[in-house]
Amino acid sequence: MKYGRVVIIGRPNTGKSTLINGLLKQKVAITSHLPQTTRKNIRVVYSDEAGKLILSDTPGVLGKVEDLLGKKVNLETPKEMGRADVVIMVVDISRPKNEEENKVIGLVRKSPAKKILVYNKVDLAVGPKNHLPDYNYLEDEFDRTVAVSALKTTHLKSLVAAIFELLPEGDPNNLAPEVAALEDTSKPVISMPSSEFIAEIIREKAYLFLRDEIPYSINVRVESVEDKGKIIVVKAIIETSAERYKKIIIGKNGQKIKEIGYNARKELQVMSGRKVYLELNVVTNTHWQELLTSTEL
């Protein structure tokens, strides 16, 4: 058995969270078309006959950061890379390279870990959308290169094989206790995902249905989760920074918020196998970005 800590990094939107979900064959991280959908590091355990890995998903590294939230989020990735045995840099070969990649490569160069370059979105990168040549030059800096489609879960086995090849035998860094603790806490309480994950699911649906109308101006807080036997009652709020955003989130006749709530509830029901009632309200809080601590990102 091998043990290793694997940190997945990249610029926003390259498919890091989609990749971690694909590797785990289960949704552990929300995904969307917006940058920095992931706001804080997420650690999960991958396990198979070859060994156990602590996989970390990290927020996309932004080139230019102007707002407070972006500044807080941008601290997450370097923090997680510190103890990595293997760093995976994910690039989206359906888009041209840009200066954000240089920032990511800067982080990669500083790390003493083994390195894997992942060319993602091979399903999308066809014809004029194939920008693979933009990224080719990077290969020299990496121990392995694997081309995958995180979304269609193709070639993920090759990626896992590459990770295990790069790890030493056994558990030299004594990761077993952390693996056990993570496996333990990831067990759902009252057959329901944690309130933190419920908030993430709601944020994902908000991003999906609001598209680009109010990209970074929302936060979701779950206030309570109550098991009432036949039904689980979840109370949550969407915080936003301006009154005009609140109007957009609620929508005409409450249509938008209904759509967000309905789809979040549906997914929570599938995840928990239980009936869920979701009470969702929108509030304006101009200071939410300042008030957010790193554990609440």
Ligand X SMILES: Nc1nc2c(ncn2[C@@H]2O[C@H](COP(=O)(O)OP(=O)(O)OP(=O)(O)O)[C@@H](O)[C@H]2O)c(=O)[nH]1
Residues forming the site for ligand X (CB under 6 A): 10, 12-18, 31-33, 35-38, 59-60, 120-121, 123-124, 149-151
Residues 18-57 that bind Mg ion (CB under 5 A): 37-38
And the tokens for 261? 């709530």
Choose from Mg ion, ligand X, none: what does 33 bind? Cβ within 5-8 Å by kind: ligand X
Spatial strand order of the sheet with 42-48 comes to 42-48, 51-57, 2-9, 86-92, 114-120, 144-147
Choose from Mg ion, ligand X, none: what does 219 bind? Cβ within 5-8 Å by kind: none
- Which ranges in 63-194 belong to alpha helices (H)? 68-74, 76-81, 99-110, 132-135, 156-166, 176-185
Q: Is 126 or 231 the residue whose CB approaches ligand X more closely?
A: 126
Kindly state the smallest distance separating residue 2's Cβ from Mg ion, in Å: 26
Residues 211-250 that bind Mg ion (CB under 5 A): none
Distance, in Å, from the CA atom of 106 to the CA atom of 111, rounded to the nearest integer, reads 9
Choose from ligand X, Mg ion, none: what does 15 bind? Cβ within 5-8 Å by kind: ligand X
Please answer whether residues 144 and 162 qualify as being in contact, where contact means their C-beta atoms are separated by less than 8 angstroms. yes
Distance, in Å, from the CA atom of 9 to the CA atom of 61, rounded to the nearest integer, reads 8
Closest CA to 150 of 254, 48, 249, 24: 24
Q: Name residue 219's beta-bridge partners.
A: 239
Choose from Mg ion, ligand X, none: what does 77 bind? Cβ within 5-8 Å by kind: none
Kindly state the smallest distance separating residue 19's Cβ from ligand X, in Å: 7
Pick the binder of Mg ion from 13, 14, 17, 21 (CB under 5 A): 17
Distance, in Å, from the CA atom of 131 to the CA atom of 105, rounded to the nearest integer, reads 18
Choose from Mg ion, ligand X, none: what does 22 bind? Cβ within 5-8 Å by kind: none
Window of 17-25, 67-75, 191-199, 230-238 that interacts with Mg ion by CB under 5 A = 17-25
Choose from ligand X, Mg ion, none: what does 240 bind? Cβ within 5-8 Å by kind: none
Number of residues that bind Mg ion (CB under 5 A): 4
Q: Are strands 42-48 and 86-92 parallel, antiparallel or unpaired?
A: unpaired
Kindly state the smallest distance separating residue 248's Cβ from ligand X, in Å: 21
Query: Which residues contact Mg ion (rule: CB under 5 A)?
Result: 16-17, 37-38
